[in-house]
A and B are shown apart, each in its own frame.
Chain A
Amino acid sequence: MNLMANILLNVLIAFLIGSLLLGLYRKVVARVQTRPGPPIIQYLLHLLKFYIKESSFTKTAAMPFYLGIASIMMVIWITAVIVGPVVQGSLLIIFAVYALHKIVEHNAGSSSGSPYGKLSCVRAVYSAAAEVPLFSVLVIIYLKTGSMGIADIINYQAVHGPLLYSIPLAAAMFFVLIVSKAQYTPFSITKGKDIVSGYETEHYGLLRGYLMISESIMWYMLLWVFLTVFLGALGPLWLLIGMVVMTVGIAFISATSPLLNPNHSVVLQIIFAAIGIIGSILLMNVI
């Protein structure tokens, strides 16, 4: 297939499936809390409504940064789609995308001039310490497979079986990272309910719709990377089943667990990382 067509197709799939999964996420959270909840397609409808809504830009916004940062979020997640499903390149670039996402959270919050955004911006910096698990996951995967390339990791699993069985603690650490990116989980402190919508508070109308498009691509990519790196190459149906199962699981966590304050959230993630790193190294020496 033509490379450009391949990229466009993958971005479209990531957007559509990601937005439906986020709709499913909200539905499951609501059902667990014995509320009827919105229809699964609601996230997509919401996004489209925002996208065509009249927008105004706050006087306190730092232009053109305020607009540019929303574009950067889409740039980084389209890069992730290219590096992931399209060319199966290096995990290091995916890691860079996660790091840049943290910078987007930080700068989107600070560029708006809103006190809620600024608080979210501070939390984004603070929670960068919680990215330790991601560093560790990459190191452990490299030690196990001898490569950072997604294609090499898939080939390794075709011969030796899924990495989920051989380095389960690394998978658990990565799972915690995904949980931290989901809404209203104990670790999603940058978008906690106590600061309205966090760094997105002053991005409304078109810009909110634009950010929501990027977030649906982000959700798809987070799940895609987890499933591909820890279970190997999956067909479209199994990939979709895996994504649905993971989304439902994280929605259960979100619905049944409290929102932690930033201190507890970061410390807990660092404890997870410490257990994951030491445990994985011990396991690699035993197995």
Chain B
Amino acid sequence: MNKMSIISSIVLIISVVSIIYALIFNPADWVIYGISIVFIPLGVLSFGLIIMAKAREEEKEDRRKEPFIGY
């Protein structure tokens, strides 16, 4: 796992745990607002970073070397 996947997994776990905590224990309103505003976006982003398609190891170098022919 690369650095981004590890960080994304940790952030996703923290986000999910926080949201579940707020759902079950119903803390003070300001805590719930904080959890919603911070951890819903972070959870969605980190989940996306984990599940997004990734290049295979053998393809990575080819992609980097391929000349840009877009123009």
CA distance A54 to B55 in the complex (A): 7
Q: How many A-B residue pairs have CB under 8 A?
A: 66
| Distance of B66 from chain A, by nearest CB (Å) | 12
A78 x B36 contact (CB < 8 A): yes
Does A174 have its Cβ within 8 Å of any Cβ on chain B?
Answer: no
Q: Which residues of A sit under 8 angstroms from B48, Cβ to Cβ?
A: 51-52, 206, 209-210
Contact with B along A1-31 (1 / 0, CB 8 A): 0111101100100000000000000000000
Residues from chain B with a CB closer than 8 A to the CB of A52 are 48, 51-53
Known: A4-B26, A54-B55, A213-B44. A75 touches B38 (CB 8 A): yes
In the complex, the answer to whether A4 meets B32 with C-beta atoms within 8 Å is yes
Q: Choose from A3, A55, A70, A213 the contact partner of B32 (Cβ within 8 Å).
A: A3
User: How far does the alpha carbon of A28 sit from the alpha carbon of B42 in the complex, in Å?
Assistant: 34
Do A54 and B32 touch across chains, with their CB atoms under 8 A apart?
no
Complex Cα spacing A240 to B63, Å: 46
Q: How large is the interface on A (under 10, 10 to 19, 20 to 34, 35 or more residues)?
A: 20 to 34
Please give the distance in Å from A214's CB to the nearest CB on chain B. Answer: 8
- How many angstroms between the C-alpha atoms of A152 and B29 in the bound complex? 21
A71 contacts chain B at the CB level, 8 A cutoff: yes
Cβ proximity bits A255-270 to B, threshold 8 Å, 1 near / 0 not: 0000000000000000
Q: Give the size of the chain B interface in residues (CB under 8 angstroms).
A: 23
Point out the residue from A8, A71, A78, A205 that lies within 8 Å of B45, measured CB to CB: A71
Given A55-B52, A79-B37, A206-B52: A5 touches B23 (CB 8 Å cut-off): yes
* Residue pair A3, B29 in contact (C-beta under 8 Å): yes
Q: Are B52 and A205 in contact (CB under 8 A)?
A: yes
- Name the A residues within 8 Å of B55 (CB-CB): 54
**Is there an interface contact between A54 and B23, defined as CB atoms closer than 8 Å?**
no
A residues within 8 A CB of B26? 2-4
A53 within 8 A of B: yes
For B42, the closest partner residue in chain A by CB is: A71
* Residues of B close to A71: CB separation below 8 A: 41-42, 45
**Can you offer 12 A-B residue contacts whose CB atoms are under 8 A?**
A4-B23, A4-B32, A4-B36, A5-B23, A51-B51, A52-B52, A54-B53, A75-B38, A78-B37, A78-B41, A210-B45, A213-B44
